[in-house]
Amino acid sequence: MTCGTVYLVGAGPGDPDLLTVKGRRLLAEADAIVYDSLVSRETLELAGPRCELVFAGKKGGGFCHPQEEIEETLVRLALEGKTVVRLKGGDPFIFGRGGEEATALRAAGIPYEIVPGVTSALAAAAYAGIPLTHRAHSSSVILLTGHEDPSKPGTSVRWEDYAKLKGTLCIYMGVRNLPTITRRLEQAGLAAGTPAAIVQSATTEGHRTVLGTLGTIAALAASKGVEAPAMVIIGEVAAFSEKLAWFDPARLSEVAR
């Protein structure tokens, strides 16, 4: 039997309209789709009627399929001769462990392709009216993970270094550790009054934006019950959301009816 191909496809931030044309085509052609927790139901509905759907969800604090098990599933399905889409929220190579999966596929001799997707930082900022770069306020964007515990020895994220860069910080998976992250940034010299925003469930019906400052955003997130998935944006450009925010999630609900 001829070995199948695995496509590591970025599903984007949630709204299926933000899926790439190639990604949409591959969903319709796939024999099997191995998908994440963050992939929307509407996106999965783009699959063909005979497509096998395999849940491989990962969510902080909840059930998690081991990474090795996911990689073994991709290899097995491809060896069965199937066209496989590994559908990942956002972009597969930005905090999506796509590099690990591509490495496993290469080691097993499985042909694969990478199909980029709109990563959460770009989508969350755009839908909240936050220009991540602005010639008067920010000439750099830094993508960081907040999933680690920043207070433990040996963390790979040196928050103190990023306090000095004067760019826009986009923190993935940072809600749980936000008090520690903001404290360390402030202690390293980033002003407490620096604008900050959290965008929850960007581009979907659950989309909402919480605005504050470096000194207040952690407490605001707790008081307003912000939950994952959420993107934290810290920098002068976050203040633009007050006047440039345009997305109304209620419109999605009306369309769905």
Within 8 A by CB and 6+ apart from 114, the residues are: 7, 8, 92, 93, 98, 102
What number is the average pLDDT over the span 73-84? 98
Q: What is the pLDDT of residue 253?
A: 59
CATH topology of domain 121-244: 3.30.950
Return residue ranges of the chain for CATH 3.30.950.10.
Answer: 121-244
**SS3 category, 232:** strand
239 pLDDT band, cuts 50/70/90, is: very high
pLDDT at 257: 47
**pLDDT (0 to 100) of residue 1:** 67
Q: Tell me which residues are annotated as active site.
A: 36, 58
What pLDDT does residue 63 have?
56
pLDDT band at 241 (very low <50, low <70, confident <90, very high): very high
- What's the confidence (pLDDT) of residue 153? 55
Contacts of 199 (CB under 8 A, 6+ apart): 124, 125, 127, 128, 207, 208, 209, 230, 231, 233
d(CA 167, CA 172): 16
Is the pLDDT at 150 greater than 80? The verdict is no
The SS3 call for residue 91 is: coil
Query: Could you give the CA distance from residue 61 to residue 249 in angstroms, rounded to a whole number?
Result: 27
pLDDT tens-digit profile of 88-129?
999 999 999 999 999 999 999 999 999 999 999 999 999 999
pLDDT of 214 reads 98
Q: What pLDDT shows up at residue 255? A: 54
Q: What pLDDT score was predicted for residue 197? A: 98
Digit-coded pLDDT (tens) for 17-50:
999 999 999 999 999 999 999 999 999 999 999 9
Q: CATH 3.40.1010.10: which residues of the chain?
A: 6-118
- pLDDT band, residue 59 (cuts 50/70/90): low
Least confident of 140-149, 167-176, 239-248: 140-149
Averaged pLDDT of the chain: 93
Please indicate whether residue 156 or residue 79 has the higher confidence score (pLDDT).
79
pLDDT in the model for residue 155: 62
pLDDT computed for residue 14 by the predictor? 94
| CATH code 3.30.830.10 for 6-118 | no
Q: Compute CA distances 52 → 77, 81, 85, 86, 217, whole Å.
A: 10, 13, 10, 12, 42
Q: What token pair was written down for 9?
A: 């496809």
